[in-house]
Each structure stands twice: as structure tokens, then as C-alpha cells.
Amino acid sequence: MSLFDDNNIRACVPDGVALPRALSRTTHLAIAAHPDDIEIIGYHGIIQCYQAADRWFTGIVVTNGSGSPRGEPFREYSDAEMIAIRAEEQIQAAQLGEYSAVLQLGLRSDEVKDRISPQLVEYLARQLELAQAHTVYLHDPADRHGTHVGVCIHALEALRALPKALRPAHVYGIEVWRNLDWLPEQYRVRLDLCGHADLFNRLIGVFQSQISAGKRLDLALPGRQSANATFDRAHLVDQSSALTLALDMSDLVHNENVGYSEFMQSVLADFTTEVIGKLDRYR
């Protein structure tokens, strides 16, 4: 049975065009695990497209977010109630950010973690083929959150399933539950988030199911972005006031002969070489 037979997919197209048209005009696309992750990993794409006539951002949210922390005033809310609240928050964010579309698949985390779902890969590949975005934002494989890693791997599998001519030019793995300031230079991408600062505050502010419950995304994310900008280069003045850091996975998408573990082993080996090389000078 397909994971999608229960018709749980919620599609929102803020400007009301048909969904195929909303997908086909997409230039920047994010595939994220939970409601609110789109606004974290895809914010660079959101501001690239915001109020731009020739650029459009689409988000795909894979799971329903039922396991989110429950501080007050949501402590007594059921999973079903939290799912409904978070889905509505995601729609509000799509409308506020003027997305081309947002698709919420409504899966459970255990349906995407620790094993590949061929149905999910096939579904994502179809949406990617319709969109043909040139820039795709994913979770990064070094994320501490198991659902984030699972969604990342499914998205990579879907991207690799596309004909090579349709694979995006840029695929970025974005930091969430682990900073990426440790990445060696050859893998690190700096995504400048300057511009539309008030939009970010308003987008994140939509997710009161997280913020009011005690997950202060509204404080933590601007803090991380500012810190990235200041600590990016030790011997240069700040080149930006807000950066998010990404792992460049473009080559990984275009070379399916490289395994995901093999790729990350290379990244970590280069990091180890960089650190140990500095220390070895003092022998």
C-alpha cells in the first residue's frame, strides 16, 4: 500500500494557480522533515524569491510533526491536535512568504527513519521532475535528528532518480540540529541572509506551537546567523550580518557511484587532517 493512499497530503498555493503550474515555475525548492524546518533550511531561497517576478520558492514538508515538545500552553494537546496546529502554521508561513506552493505529506517519523521508503522516493522524484528547480535545500547528513537525516537521504535518492539533465545545479545541506562551522572550506557554502530581516522574524513568529511551548527559534536562529557572520573568517571584517552555513552536496547528487557514508567519511577525514595538521606543527 502506498504511503499516500490516505490522501493526507495538504497542498497550499497562496496565489491560487493550479498546483502543476505552481510546481513548474519553481526555481528554489526545500524538502524538510517538519513544519517550521522549511523556514530554517530554505530561508535563503525564500528571500531570493520573495516578491521576485521570475523566481518562486516551493517547500515540501514530509512528516506531521506530532512529536514536538509540549510546553505551556500546549502541554495537554493530543498528537492529532498538534498535527493540525502545525499544519495550519505552515500554511500561514507559505502565505506570508508568498511561496509558490507548500506540500505537507503528513507522514509519521517512523515511516522515513532508518530505512528507505521506495514510495516516498518515487513521490519526491515526481515533484522534483515537475519543478525542475535549479537550487534545492535539504537537511544535512550530519544532523543529530534522525528524522532530518532520513528525509535528507530520501531526498538525495529522489534527486539521483532524475535524469541527469534535470538534476539541480545546486544542492545544499543546511545546518539545524548541529552547526556546520566545522566544515572544511572546500565543502562549505555561505548563504547570505541579509535583506528582508523583518520577513524572517514574521515567518518564524508564525510557529507559536514551538516558540510559546519553549523552543525559542525566534531567538536561536538569528543568534546563530549573526554568529556565523562574525566568526566566519578570523582575519576579515564581517562580510555579512547574517549567514547560514551549508554542506555542498551538488557533486553527490550528480555522482551516484559515491555512497552517502563514503561522502561524509571524506568530509570528516578532511576535517581531521585540517585540525591535526595544525597541531602537528608543534611537535
Residues 184, 188: Cα–Cα separation, whole Å: 6
Peptide bond into 35 cis (omega under 30): no
pLDDT tens, residue by residue, 182-216: 999 999 999 999 888 789 999 999 999 989 888 89
Sign of CA dihedral 205, 211, 216, 217: negative
pLDDT tens-place string over residues 78-124: 889 999 999 999 999 999 999 999 999 999 999 999 899 999 999 99
Q: Give this prediction's pTM.
A: 0.95
pLDDT at 71: 74
Calpha distance 215→36 (Å, rounded): 12
